[in-house]
Amino acid sequence: MRKLVTLAALLLIAAAPLARAEDGSAGQVKEITQALADRTVAAAKVDDPGERRKMLQEAAGPAMDMQAIGKGVLDYAGARVPPGRKSDIMAQVVSYVGDKITDEIERIRPEKATVGDVEVKGNEAHVNMQLAGLQDSIDIRWLFRKTEAGWRIIDGAVSGTMLTMHFGEKLARYAHGVEQLEQYLRDQRKVSQTASRI
C-alpha cells in the first residue's frame, strides 16, 4: 500500500510541471486572443473608414500568422505557382485574406467581444471568440500553433468552415492559371480598396 501511495505521489509531482506548462500556454493564448478582441473592437469604433480598416488590419498583426494562413489557402486551392513567383503570389493571397476578414468585421462593426476558454493539446490550442455588433455577430474558433515566435493563429473556423478552406475554395476556380489567379486577386484588392473609401 505504501508503494502505491509513493508511486501516486511521484506521478502527481511529475505531472505538476506539465499541468503548469499547459496552464501557462492557455494563459498566453487567452491573453493574445483577448488583446486581439479588444484591439478589434477599439478599431471598429473609429469613424474614418480608411483609418478604421488600417487599424483593424493592424489589430490582427500580433496574433495572426498570415504567412501560414496564406500557405494554407494556396495549398487548399491546389494552386501550382512557379518557385520564382511564390513570394509575390503569397503576398497577394495574404493581402486578399486580410482584406476579406476586414470586410466581414467592417460589416459587423463589433461593439463588444467575448473570449471563451482555451483548449491546449500539445503545440496547438483552440479558443472561441465572438464579435458582436448591433445587428449581427461573428463566432470564430481560432486555431493557434506554438511557433518559435510564440503562439500564433494559423486558421479559424466560422460556422464550422475553416478560413483556409473557405478562401481556398474561392481561389480554386482560378488556381489552374497563375495569370488568372493574379488577375482575380488584383480585382478583389480593388473591390476592398473601393469599399474602404465609402
146 vs 82: which has the higher pLDDT = 146
Tell me the helix, strand and coil percentages in the chain, rounded to 5: 60, 20, 15
Q: What is the pLDDT of residue 58?
A: 92
pLDDT (tens digit per residue) in 116-165: 999 999 999 999 999 999 999 999 999 999 998 899 999 999 999 999 99
Q: How much of the chain exceeds pLDDT 70, in percent? A: 86
pLDDT-derived band at 59, boundaries 50, 70, 90: very high
Q: What is the pLDDT of residue 197?
A: 59
Q: Where are the domains of the chain?
A: 2-197
- The rounded distance, in Å, linking the Cα atoms of 74 and 78 is 6
Q: Mean pLDDT, to the nearest integer, of 44-64?
A: 92
Contact 153, 63 (CB under 8 A): yes
**180: its cell numbers:** 488568372
Q: What is the pLDDT of residue 174?
A: 83
In the sheet that holds 150-158, the strands lie side by side as: 112-121, 124-132, 137-147, 150-158, 161-162
Q: Which residues contact 35 (CB under 8 A, 6 or more apart)?
A: 62, 63
The answer, yes or no, to whether residue 5 has pLDDT greater than 60, is: no
Q: What is the pLDDT of residue 178?
A: 85
CATH architecture of 2-197: Roll (3.10)
The answer, yes or no, to whether residue 11 has pLDDT greater than 80, is: no
Q: What is the pLDDT of residue 7?
A: 31
CA distances in angstroms from 100 to 87, 116, 143, 147, listed in the order given: 20, 24, 18, 25
The answer, yes or no, to whether residue 9 has pLDDT greater than 90, is: no
The answer, yes or no, to whether residue 29 has pLDDT greater than 70, is: yes
Locus of grid cell 495574404: 94
pLDDT-derived band at 10, boundaries 50, 70, 90: very low
Nearest to 131 by CA among 64, 40, 32: 40
Nearest to 97 by CA among 52, 153, 151: 153
CA angle 134, 135, 139 (to 5 degrees): 95
The answer, yes or no, to whether residue 17 has pLDDT greater than 60, is: no
CA distances in angstroms from 140 to 37, 132, 156, listed in the order given: 11, 11, 6
The answer, yes or no, to whether residue 47 has pLDDT greater than 80, is: yes
Q: What is the pLDDT of residue 8?
A: 36
